[in-house]
Amino acid sequence: MNVRIEITYKTPKGTEAIFHTEEMRAKHALLIAEDIEKTGRSKLITFIDRHDHSWTFKELKKQLEEIQTEPHDISVYFDGGFDIKSRKSGLGCVIYYEQNGRQFRIRKNALVEEMDSNNEAEYAAFHLGVQELELLGVHHLPVTFVGDSQVVINQLKGEWPTYEKVLNNWADRIEEDLNRLGIDPEFDLISRTNNREADRLASQALEGTQINSTLELQVDQ
């Protein structure tokens, strides 16, 4: 969950001003706001999410406590590969998330047919990630989708037009599912080198190797 902080600041002589921060993770916003509050100069501190809903200290802390028991801080890496000769596509997605103070990774791939291009396979891989989020029970949370497909990410962000009907249908399906789940998508375009894990899953699917695993990650304290 991301928020920005709105601070009403008051000087010793009573002059007031309102300041706004950039958007940040809610847990970081709480730490900063608590530190500011210790100065005794802040008259009012409010947290505002990207839907312009306002939260008090108490409300935001309660919300974060409830979120801890559910999957959160979620990143979905996706990649699709298309084999022209066989007309088959390999889809791969990797989901990183936290729950109850622990970190997990889901790896999933799929082999599909009846697609016409690599771009369509990329869209299908993105959609595979959304389906896995639904199975995980993710709803009403921000999720970062990470991939190396400029077409998919820029079209879903609305920065590039979608002229091909088949790709437009995928985009509509994805947006409908995200809205139904209440997922607020963020997008991160990376190089193919940095997307090797999802790329490998897509290649394994084309090779006939099916992957579906969940692993708890060991995090150094």
Residue 17 CA from chain centroid, whole number:
34
Q: Which homologous superfamily is 72-217 in?
A: Ribonuclease H-like superfamily/Ribonuclease H (3.30.420.10)
Residue 38: is its pLDDT beyond 80? Answer: yes
Using pLDDT thresholds of 50, 70 and 90, give the confidence band for residue 220. Answer: low
Q: Distance (Å, rounded) from C-alpha 28 to C-alpha 22?
A: 12
What average pLDDT score do residues 31-50 get? 85
Cβ–Cβ < 8 Å for 185, 156: yes
Spatial separation of the C-alpha atoms in residues 194 and 75, rounded to whole Å: 14
Measure Cα distances from 202 to 73, 113, 189, 209 in Å.
24, 13, 18, 10
pLDDT digits (tens, 9 = 90+) for 134-153: 999 998 888 999 999 999 99
Residues forming CATH 3.30.420.10 domain(s) in the chain: 72-217
pLDDT at 140: 84
Query: What single string gives the DSSP state of each residue in 134-148?
Result: HHHT--SSEEEEEES
Question: Mean pLDDT over all residues of the chain?
Answer: 92
